[in-house]
Amino acid sequence: MTKGKSGTVFYCQSCGYESAKWMGQCPGCREWNTFVEEPVSAPAQRGGAKMRPGEIPRPARLTDVVVRQEDRISTHIRELDRVLGGGIVQGSLTLVGGDPGIGKSTLLLQVCRLLAGEGRKVLYISGEESMVQIRMRADRIGSFGESMLLLCETNLGVISEVIRREKPQVAVIDSIQTMYEENVSSAPGSVSQVREATGVLLQLAKGMNLSVFIVGHVTKEGTVAGPRVLEHMVDTVLYFEGDSHASYRILRGVKNRFGSTNEIGVFEMSQEGLKEVENPSQYMLEGRPEDASGCVVTCSMEGTRPLLVEIQALVCRSNFGNPRRQTTGTDFNRVNLLMAVLEKRCGLQLSGCDAYVNLTGGMKIQEPAIDLGIVLAVLSSFRNTALSSRLLAFGEVGLSGEVRSVSMAPGRVAEAQKLGFDTCILPQVCLEACRKSLGDGGKMKLIGVRNIRDVIDKLF
């Protein structure tokens, strides 16, 4: 450990980078003005060499370890179970991060309610709200079982004692930034405190087979230690995101030791707490304009689940030498690149045009499979020709204008068919597989394309 003059060390409050001296910019995460001086905590004493032969643990054979099915607890919220990889793993630590007010406390309170409803002992520890406030929130959500316990406390020593005595199956810590460990002298929310507190919880969870949910706020200012510091300490990291103006919320797995990480769960905030959105595609496409130019529906895979989203493009003549380009929900550079490909390979005069490309519904998608959708939206707006509102397009577009294959094409086509789409434009290489999986009963018309010239010939 690098130590400062008087036993202090500087931590970046955003990523936990450690330095002996103060720095303006963090070399770790490139954030400015995030270093704060904190005292060095004494390293924990643990004898390695001093162990007597009888105390040395014996490694077990991997094949001898049995995994029992009941090691996972279902939350009865399907969207959450999927993101967790099939339920809460006993003895695991899960971090739920997100902006303040996004609904972390609400979601976890709902989880507690469902678990307590099954007679499981649940302990909800809040350092942010009073019992009365939590009760008021709980009343909006529904009725709670007897085994749901509340504790308003921020001292981790006290919390550990309570957990040891009550032996709950699941505990919620809301939020880690308010908790403090007495032995660490820095303020709650600082990197050392957050790290120490998580360490204590980790020991408790593994020792008692207790599943712990930790709430962590993310703030852009870097004044509160970002949960990024503890990402590597916990088993699972979930981020709750969404537009504060829109009512839907997306729960995204960022790290998961027990499952896949690219699953998402979609929720909607209502008067009675969060509701699951079972069919997010339909939800995203609601209120879509019919027969408007520049609008195309595409399909992105979120984990194993296809999600249909609408891409809107507005291309108009620029009044300035430097055309204006703007994107929402998709990569700015990717859109510029695709427009350059269109200009070079199809001779479209796009360099004199402003272009705005939006993914509606506030979704953020990076997957290259939506390239063809972006290209079609730009083309449709440029030509001022509306495409059928029952048309779907997906495929990756390469620099020479070729349309490349994407993964899980049949799944995407099936989802589109389920939602009443009748035409699908897809990479030629994926055509056979999709045709086979649709079978004869499929009413969907599949159009395979090799490159974007093909697309123009077949559609415009």
Neighbouring CB atoms inside 10 A of 231's CB total 17
Closest approach, Cβ 98 to ligand TYD, in A, equals 6
Count of residues in contact with ligand TYD, rule CB under 6 A: 14
Binding site partner of 418, from Mg ion, ligand TYD, none, Cβ cut-off 5-8 A by kind:
none
| Helix segments in 256-331, DSSP class H | 280-285
Q: What is the DSSP string of 243-264?
A: -SSSSEEEEEEEEETTS-SS-E
Q: How far is the CB of 215 from Mg ion (least distance, A)?
A: 6
CB-wise, 12 or 107, nearer to ligand TYD?
107
How far, in Å, CA of 399 to CA of 422, rounded?
29
What minimum distance in Å lies between the beta carbon of 184 and ligand TYD? 25
Q: Which is nearer to Mg ion, 16 or 97 (CB)?
A: 97
Rule CB under 6 A: say whether 143 interacts with ligand TYD: no
Site of tokens 């703007």 = 326
322 binds, among Mg ion, ligand TYD, none (CB under 5 to 8 A by kind): none
Instruction: Provide the CA 263 distance to its chain's centre, in angstroms.
Output: 8
Which of the 8 DSSP states describes residue 168?
-
In the numeric block, which tokens belong to residue 129? 């709200």
- Single out the residue of 269, 308, 375, 409 in contact with ligand TYD (rule: CB under 6 A): 269
Tell me the residue length of the chain. Answer: 460
Give the nearer residue to ligand TYD in terms of CB position, either 270 or 304: 270
User: Where does this chain touch ligand TYD (CB under 6 A) — which range of 51-59, 223-231, 253-261, 269-277?
Assistant: 269-277
Q: How far is the CB of 215 from ligand TYD (least distance, A)?
A: 6
Both tokens of residue 385?
């020709």
- Applying the rule CB under 5 A, the residues between 65 and 124 that interact with Mg ion are 105
Query: With contact defined as beta carbons under 8 Å apart, do 302 and 291 qualify?
Result: no
Q: Which residues have C-beta within 8 Å of that of residue 259, sequence separation ≥ 6? A: 84, 85, 86, 253
Residue numbers 78-117 binding ligand TYD by CB under 6 A: 98, 100-106
Nearer to ligand TYD, 197 or 297 (CB): 197
Orientation angle between helical segments 191-208 and 156-166, nearest 10 degrees: 10
d(CA 318, CA 361): 27
164 binds, among Mg ion, ligand TYD, none (CB under 5 to 8 A by kind): none
Three-class secondary structure of residue 161 per DSSP: helix
Minimum Å gap between C-beta 420 and ligand TYD is 31
Q: Which is nearer to ligand TYD, 20 or 136 (CB)?
A: 136
Residues that bind Mg ion (CB under 5 A): 105
Residues that bind ligand TYD (CB under 6 A): 98, 100-106, 137, 140, 269, 271-273
